[in-house]
């Protein structure tokens, strides 16, 4: 009977930009059994070894995987993990928020045209996407580009390592690049995978890196070593309910954790698809996520196209579509202005509620680290409407909260413009816990805002996928939420848009 109980536990991992979070849950109910976490280093270019170390530490912090039957890893999208023929990382991974490939993205758009990119990949290249980073690597570091034998994304690489693959002196199964696998949601953010045909576009990959590619054939039974002079391996894309593999032997992780033989490893997801699965989003649901960066994403059964490139037509974690808009500046806006005012998020919210809606004309356009939507990688933040009456702590705090949310309201409008119907709007992420953010969201969006109870929804979505792979059916896990009634103040968004146009 003990074995039966053990087989009901599943784990989900969220390997994000800032940290690695692990949640272990009951496969049937979704009840949290235990959790763990570990930090990642700052930066936009990171040695993936830090993610591997953090994964081991987070698993150990969660009490280990001895009683876990299945796991899936969700991770930050777009990061370029380039491997050589020995399974070693060629250079630090360029993350989604590394904008050095902005010029490469512009070149690639000019070469093919926006409409062709949308028709073939569902997106228009910007600096965030993996393909533009490969083009940058080709042009800026040709020696490194020549060493590349495989290209993976962060969650692909971590899943590969967890299953026992890697450099020969660091892993039991060695550098079998044909064992690399991924899922459709993460593949759709590369810029060389078609979410409609659900196939790689080999021509676009070669346009990016300047070298041909081939899809990983699956794990080899015996000793395997890639040909460094052959086509570059890209991970095979497995179905949402298909296992990447099952551990044939124990795998030791950093920090003393062990993944036991028999552990089933699910396909994993991109982080936003993981959050959508964790929230149980369906057609008509759209989520606004307030992390360091911001996202607006929903689920639809219909094809999504936006030639402007504002909305990317990604795949979700179930076989449907996940139209998404991403901004580089969300909770970081509150951090920057909070730091200027020497207050934390809670105190910033209290200050913001002391000023009226619209902050008496004070507007913050929050492009502190450039911006992805709109595509302005070299932009900086601007504060307009300063008068003696508005230049105080309360008005500045209010402008920060409104600026963050108005940028995402533009994202919501872009998603709706593609034909996506919005019947329920959810607000998630750390900043969504702030009372001022909730109140201002109901004003800026002008509709009811559903606030799910605080939780690690990316990791939860990965755990739900693991349960799906383990049991053969996608479980229904309840998500409690409160609703903030609509309090429309259209003038807030109107004055923000006027300032942003300047």
Phi, psi (rounded to 5 degrees) for 72:
-140, 145
CA 330 – CA 327 distance, rounded (Å)? 7
Residue 234: phi and psi, rounded to 5, are -115, 145
Taking every pair of Cα atoms in the chain, the longest distance, rounded to a whole number of angstroms, is: 74
| Contact between residue 217 and residue 178 where contact means Cβ atoms under 8 Å apart | yes
**Helix (H), strand (E) at residue 259:** strand 258-259
Please name every residue paired with 10 in a beta bridge, in sequence order, or none if there are none: 25, 70
Place of tokens 């949290």: 32
> By the 8 A CB rule, do 271 and 16 touch?
yes
In sequence order, the 6+-apart residues with CB closer than 8 A to the CB of 256 are 56, 60
Instruction: Give yes or no for a contact between 31 and 17, defined as CB atoms under 8 angstroms apart.
Output: no
CA angle (158 as vertex; 234, 64 as ends), nearest 5: 155
Cite the beta strand spans of 351-491 per DSSP E: 363-365, 382-384, 424-428, 449-452, 481-484
DSSP state of 255: G
User: Taking CA 202 as the corner, what is the angle to CA 198 and CA 205, rounded to the nearest 5 degrees?
Assistant: 105
CA distance 120 to 218: 25
The two three-digit tokens of residue 431, written as one number: 């900043």
Distance (Å) of CA 219 to CA 163, 248, 422, 465: 11, 12, 42, 22
Helix or strand holding residue 494 (H, E):
helix 490-501
Q: Catalytic residue positions?
A: 271
End-to-end CA distance of the chain: 67
CA distance 311 to 187: 16
DSSP calls for 119-162 = HHHSS---TTSHHHHHHHHHHH-HHHHHH--EEE-HHHHHHHHH
- Look at phi and psi of residue 59 and say left if phi exceeds 0, alpha if psi is from -120 to 50, else beta: alpha
Q: What CA–CA distance (Å, rounded) separates 215 from 191?
A: 15
The answer to whether the beta carbons of residues 68 and 24 sit under 8 Å apart is: yes
CA dihedral (11, 16, 21, 25) positive or negative = negative
Positive or negative: CA dihedral 54, 57, 62, 65:
positive
Peptide bond into 172 cis (omega under 30): no
């Amino acid at each position: 009977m003990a074995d039966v109980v053990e087989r009901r536990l599943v784990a989900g991992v969220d390997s994000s930009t800032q940290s690695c979070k692990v949640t272990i849950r009951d496969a049937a109910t979704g009840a949290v059994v235990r959790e763990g976490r570990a930090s990642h280093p700052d930066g936009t270019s990171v040695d993936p070894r830090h993610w591997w170390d953090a994964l081991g530490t987070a698993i150990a912090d969660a009490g280990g995987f001895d009683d876990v039957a299945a796991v899936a890893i969700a991770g930050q999208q777009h990061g370029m993990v380039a491997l050589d023929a020995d399974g070693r990382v060629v250079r630090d991974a360029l993350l989604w928020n590394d904008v050095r490939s902005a010029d490469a993205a512009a070149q690639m758009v000019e070469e093919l045209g926006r409409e062709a990119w949308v028709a073939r990949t569902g997106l228009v290249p910007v600096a965030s996407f993996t393909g533009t980073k490969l083009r940058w690597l080709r042009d800026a570091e040709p020696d490194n580009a020549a060493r590349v034998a495989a290209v993976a994304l962060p969650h692909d690489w971590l899943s590969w390592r967890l299953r026992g693959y890697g450099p020969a002196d660091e892993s039991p199964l060695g550098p079998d690049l044909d064992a690399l696998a991924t899922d459709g949601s993460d593949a759709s953010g590369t810029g060389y995978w078609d979410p409609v045909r659900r196939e790689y576009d080999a021509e676009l990959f070669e346009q990016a890196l300047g070298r041909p590619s081939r899809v990983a054939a699956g794990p080899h039974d015996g000793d395997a070593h890639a040909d460094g002079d052959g086509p570059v391996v890209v991970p095979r894309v497995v179905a949402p309910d298909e296992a990447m593999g099952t551990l044939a032997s124990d795998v030791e992780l950093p920090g003393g954790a062990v993944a036991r033989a028999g552990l089933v490893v699910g396909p994993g997801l991109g982080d936003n698809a993981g959050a959508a699965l964790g929230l149980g989003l369906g057609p008509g649901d759209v989520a606004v996520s307030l992390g360091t960066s911001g996202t607006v994403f929903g689920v639809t059964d219909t094809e999504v196209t936006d030639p402007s490139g504002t909305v990317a037509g990604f795949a979700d974690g179930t076989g449907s579509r996940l139209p998404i808009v991403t901004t580089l500046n969300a909770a970081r806006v509150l951090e920057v202005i909070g730091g200027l005012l020497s207050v934390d998020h809670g105190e910033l919210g209290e200050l913001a509620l002391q000023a009226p809606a619209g902050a008496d004309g004070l507007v913050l356009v929050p492009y502190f680290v450039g911006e992805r939507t709109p595509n302005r990688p070299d932009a900086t933040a601007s504060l307009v409407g300063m008068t003696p009456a508005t230049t105080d702590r309360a008005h500045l705090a209010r402008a920060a909260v409104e600026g963050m949310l108005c940028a995402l309201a533009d994202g919501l409008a872009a998603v709706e413009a593609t034909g996506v119907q919005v019947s329920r709007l959810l607000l998630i992420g750390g900043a969504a816990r702030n009372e001022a953010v909730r109140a201002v969201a109901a004003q800026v969006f002008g509709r009811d805002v559903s606030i799910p109870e605080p939780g690690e929804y990316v990791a939860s979505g990965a755990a739900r996928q693991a349960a799906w792979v383990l049991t053969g059916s996608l479980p229904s896990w309840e998500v409690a939420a409160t609703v903030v009634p609509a309090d429309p103040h259209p003038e807030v968004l109107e004055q923000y848009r006027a300032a942003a146009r300047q």
